[in-house]
Amino acid sequence: MANMLWLQSGGCGGCSMSLLGAEGPDLITTLESAGIELLWHPSLSEQTGAEVRQMLEHIIDGERALDLLCIEGSLMRGPNGTGRFHLFGGTGIPMIDWVGKLAQRARYTLAIGSCAAYGGITSAGDNHTDATGLQFEGELRGGLLGSEYRSADAMPVINVSGCPVHPNWVTETLIELALGEGRADQLDTLGRPRLFADQLVHHGCTRNEYYEYKASAEQLGHQGCMMEHLGCLGTQAHGDCNTRPWNGEGSCTRGGYPCINCTAPEFEEPRHAFMETPKIAGIPVGLPTDMPKAWFVALASLSKAATPERLKENARSEHLIYPPTLHKRKN
């Protein structure tokens, strides 16, 4: 039996809301089946006040084991490194102090969502609260715990990123760890579990035919590819959102909204509007990560020259106008 403690720091609670949408099976059944005991979650547990504080102190003192420490939300170090912008309710002690001590006892420490992983939305702009991730500050290693931090099982922080995180990314990661199968080589260079980070959002996108022919949507609601004009980063974003749809049905691109690469550090500050594709000499700046620019330009020119009229018209429409033509084979 592995036990799990979930704390919420600086964020909106969206990752907890997402986790409640876990299906096939539901969250509680999944945890029970994996032998995971939920010690405490601020929204899902009954214990409050002195009961919770006593449990946390027992963990810190080594009187109670902690297998899975899950932190949701960024860690707020301000003002001036005191952490007093965020005191853990009823304790008078900064959340960063609790997290630092608990992380020294945890067998595994997980950052749930991009805020806990990299700072996320909470760290955007002037970052007056000095918000950071657990082991990353944006793209840079460090964060609250420092780049050298390792859990009791010699693991760095596991960054189950996303804004919000996909519920199955969390449950599958927890199951792997509960079974004792967690290894550092199962994480990518940004600390994300490779079970979802080894795929791109582009994989499985329902608009891929439009992408191949560079038949582009020109405004939200159009059917075409959103990379050229509407800022879609699906060819660069790591996540299996389109091959593992949310609630079995949806994803951002399936819902008609461009991918904003929310699993990555600093996605919250793209330095341009989310629904805008920055270009240089008419060429999108955000090209597929593993394709040389010259190749992309050459391929795009050929693709556009060969675009079927059906796709050109459908790409700029809110509804399918021309279905694929049925060609009967001649004997």
Q: Are residues 27 and 46 in the same domain?
A: yes
Q: Does 58 count as an annotated binding residue? A: no
Domain that residue 34 falls in: 2-195
Q: Can you tell me which residue has the tokens 């170090």?
A: 77
Q: Does 202 count as an annotated binding residue? A: yes
Whole-number Å distance between alpha carbons of 117 and 137: 8
* Residue 186 pLDDT level (bands cut at 50, 70, 90): very high
Residue 197 reports pLDDT greater than 90: yes
For the chain, what is the domain count? 2
Whole-number Å distance between alpha carbons of 265 and 59: 31
Exposure of 198 by Cβ count < 10 A (0-12 exposed, 13-18 middle, 19+ buried)? Answer: middle
114-130 pLDDT per residue, tens: 999 999 999 999 999 99
Return the SS3 of 40.
strand
pLDDT at 295: 63
33's enclosing H/E stretch is: helix 27-33
Whole-number Å distance between alpha carbons of 298 and 294: 6
- Average pLDDT, integer, range 95-122: 98
Please indicate, yes or no, if residue 325 is contained in any of the structural domains.
Answer: no
Give the domain-ending residue among 168, 195, 222. Answer: 195
Q: Are residues 103 and 247 in the same domain?
A: no
Give the domain-ending residue among 179, 195, 211. Answer: 195
259-312 pLDDT per residue, tens: 999 999 999 999 889 999 988 777 777 667 666 666 667 777 778 778 888 888
* Residue 331 pLDDT level (bands cut at 50, 70, 90): low
Q: Are residues 167 and 253 in the same domain?
A: no
pLDDT at 324: 85
pLDDT at 51: 95
Please indicate, yes or no, if residue 328 is contained in any of the structural domains.
Answer: no
Cα-to-chain-centroid distance, residue 272:
20
pLDDT at 214: 87
Q: Does 70 count as an annotated binding residue? A: no
Half-sphere exposure of 61 (CA within 13 A, CB side): 7
CATH number at residue 314: 4.10.480.10
pLDDT at 218: 93
User: In this prediction, what percent of the chain has a pLDDT beyond 70?
Assistant: 96
Q: Does 252 count as an annotated binding residue? A: no
Q: Which residues of 249-286 are buried (b: 16+ CB within 10 A; e: fewer)?
A: eebbbbeebbbbbbbbbbbbeeeeebeebeeeeeebeb
The DSSP output letter for 18 is H
Q: Are residues 117 and 235 in the same domain?
A: no
